[in-house]
């Protein structure tokens, strides 16, 4: 019997395109199994949302083959669920990458949630964007 894990992902850019990062949270029940953030460089919000999901799926594969994914990007969820076509040429390879990763799971689903229910993934990506490592954060001071 497989154990269902829950993946929460968020991607964002300051500016569109602009400085972008992703945050992911993998849970087993109420327990956080892992959380990660990654700086992307320049990307659009939608590219960052897809990159967050790609990172999350890659990380989740090390833990489970049954996954419920929760994103606050209605566009990405509707594209993955076949309700919207992927028209943006820059999103098509990201969409295909997700489709490829999806095949590695025995059971997977994609669900839209409000930003309010995705706070930890959002916090992680914003902490990454604010990090002085990237020279753009709120702690970075120009001389």
Please indicate, yes or no, if residue 60 is contained in any of the structural domains: yes
Please check whether residue 40 lies inside any domain of the structure: yes
Closest to 57 in 3D by CA, of 111, 104, 89, 113 = 104
Q: For 63-108, what is each residue's pLDDT tens digit?
A: 999 999 999 999 999 999 999 999 999 999 999 999 999 999 999 9
**Residue 139 domain-assigned?**
no
CATH number for the domain that contains residue 12 = 3.30.420.10
**Residues 1-59 pLDDT 10s:** 567 899 999 999 999 899 999 999 999 999 999 999 999 999 999 999 999 999 999 99
Number of domains in the chain: 1
Q: For residue 82, what are the domain limits?
A: 5-134
């Amino acid at each position: 019997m497989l154990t269902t894990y829950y993946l929460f992902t968020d991607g964002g850019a300051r500016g569109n395109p602009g400085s972008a990062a992703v945050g992911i949270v993998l849970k087993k029940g109420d327990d956080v199994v892992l959380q990660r953030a990654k700086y992307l460089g320049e990307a659009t919000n939608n590219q960052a949302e897809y990159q967050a999901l790609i990172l999350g799926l890659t990380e989740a594969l090390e833990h489970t083959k049954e996954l419920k994914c929760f994103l606050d990007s209605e566009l990405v969820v509707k594209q993955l669920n076949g309700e919207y076509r992927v028209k943006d040429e820059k999103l098509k390879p990201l969409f295909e990458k997700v489709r490829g990763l999806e095949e590695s799971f025995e059971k997977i689903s994609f669900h839209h949630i409000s930003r309010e229910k995705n706070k930890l993934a959002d916090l992680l990506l914003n902490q990454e964007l604010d990090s002085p490592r990237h020279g753009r954060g709120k702690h970075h001071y120009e001389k």
